[in-house]
Amino acid sequence: MELCSITGLKGKVKVPGDKSISHRCVMFGSIAKGTTEVHNFLKGADCLATIRCFRTLGIEIEEKDSVVIVHGKGLHGLSAPSDILDVGNSGTTTRLLSGILTGQPFDSKLSGDESLNSRPMKRIIEPLTQMGANITSILRNGCAPLYITPGSLHGIHYESPVASAQVKSCLLLAGLYAEGDTSVTEPTLSRNHTELMLREFGADIRSTHALDSTRATASITPGGELYGQKITVPGDISSAAYFIAAGLIVPDSEILIENVGINPTRAGILKVCEDMGGDITLLNERTEGGEKIADILVRTSRLHGTTIEGDIIPTLIDEIPVIAVMAAVAEGTTVIKDAAELKVKETDRIETVTDNLKSMGCRVTPTDDGMIITGGKLKGASIHTLLDHRIAMAFSIAALVADGNTRILDSKCVDVSYPEFYDTFEQLL
């Protein structure tokens, strides 16, 4: 994809359904009794991998445009897979599905692409093993491919060293098949879609917050069945983030992004944009299926640097590449700290973001847990995405304000979370 600088992005856009919520609709729908009807489902490669895995586990799933109908078979209705479960590029599929599979009376194997198979799985293998699960890394390197055989699960209390919704959700899902309660405490609250949605499906699940710290605990009591639901997936704030950034940094722009999920455990980017001086207005705020939603109006603004650290990090972890791009054209210096988790995403995003910003002429220093960026003028460059969808999209926004042309290599990787990304952009020209 070849891009150049522009001005005056104007109009309305709708972003596709939320990736985290779309995954969960298929997973929870598959192990619920009855039908789950999902509207505005994200048909990105990651969520399609989840559909593919549950079909391999014997669940009938219909797809009609952006509606997906899952014919759930109840908690004990999955059948032994005839094949290895192909999780593609998707960490959410791998970790949440592993939690479910440890409670099944059959063997299964999960494997993904090169990036997925190099991401850390010890973070789920260890606590699942404490619960009595039989789950191993086939190559004994702490990564997928994973091999899971039947185990007898018992609930545990787990103090997670990382704020990770994937770890938390994995254990809560295994907890559905365990004897006794399972609870997970995390250092700061990560996205809580599992807690909100499992409750809608009828699970006995609770969330508590420590009053004297940022620590948060989610607990589940097994026993009951889950029941199919009708769900409309809100627009993905992680996809909206690219239009928020474009609206703020491209001169003479005004963009209305409709129907975006603004769950507080996901909406840290809005606070950061405000801190940077961004002109952002939330309109039409409402709540559906326990999730907060709004339309977001963005206008071109003079941005200045800020510090992003502490408990806001999990609420914007996937948006850091595009926040870094905004920082690269803002006045002054931006410091991003406490974000070492960036190293274990689809790529090492401390490296991919800082290397690509450097090639665009930005003054940026990678650190152990983030980066320091001094804003200025960017110049066009060849962007090495390393097949990371968020790097491709973030640097497509950088290209819109850079001098000269920018080439996004392997830009097709946007299909992972946002197949229509470039088409939606054209609506604003």
**Residues that bind ligand S3P in the complex, under the rule CB under 6 A:** 20, 92, 164-166, 169, 190-191, 317-318, 341
Rounded to whole angstroms, how far apart are CA atoms 21 and 291? 10
For the chain, count helices (H), then strands (E): 12, 23
For 140: left if phi > 0, alpha if psi spans -120 to 50, otherwise beta; the answer is left
Q: How far apart are CA 350 and CA 367, in angstroms?
A: 8
Order the strands of the 60-64 sheet from edge to edge.
Answer: 60-64, 67-73, 33-39, 230-232
Please, which residue, 195 or 341, has the CB nearer to ligand S3P? 341
Question: Among this protein's residues, is 181 annotated catalytic?
Answer: no
289 Cβ partners below 8 Å, 6+ apart? 196, 197, 200, 229, 231, 232
- Residue 165 or 373: which CB sits closer to ligand S3P? 165
Q: Give the nearest distance from C-beta 17 to ligand S3P in angstroms.
A: 13
Q: Cα separation of 398 and 322, whole Å?
A: 8
The least CB distance from residue 52 to ligand S3P, in Å, is 17
Query: Strands 108-112 and 85-88: what pairing?
Result: parallel
Could you tell me which residues are beta bridge partners of residue 299? 254, 279
Nearer to ligand S3P by Cβ, of 14 and 191: the residue is 191
Residue 279 CA, distance from chain mean position: 25
How far is it between the farthest Cα atoms of the chain? 61
Minimal distance, residue 350 CB to ligand S3P, in Å: 14
What does the alpha-carbon distance between residue 215 and residue 167 come to, in Å, rounded to a whole number? 15
Residue 217 phi/psi, 5-degree rounding, is: -125, 135
Name the catalytic one among 295, 318, 388, 415.
Answer: 318
Q: Give me the least distance between CB of 191 and ligand S3P, in Å please.
A: 6
Q: How far is the CB of 238 from ligand S3P (least distance, A)?
A: 7
State the minimum distance, in angstroms, from the CB of residue 406 to ligand S3P. 25
- 318 versus 415: smaller Cβ distance to ligand S3P: 318
Q: Pick the closest to residue 255 from 268, 242, 269 (CA basis).
A: 242
* Beta carbon nearer to ligand S3P, 14 or 123: 123
Comparing C-alpha atoms, which of 127, 55, 139, 123 is closest to residue 91?
A: 123
Nearer to ligand S3P, 25 or 61 (CB): 25
- Please identify every residue annotated as catalytic: 318
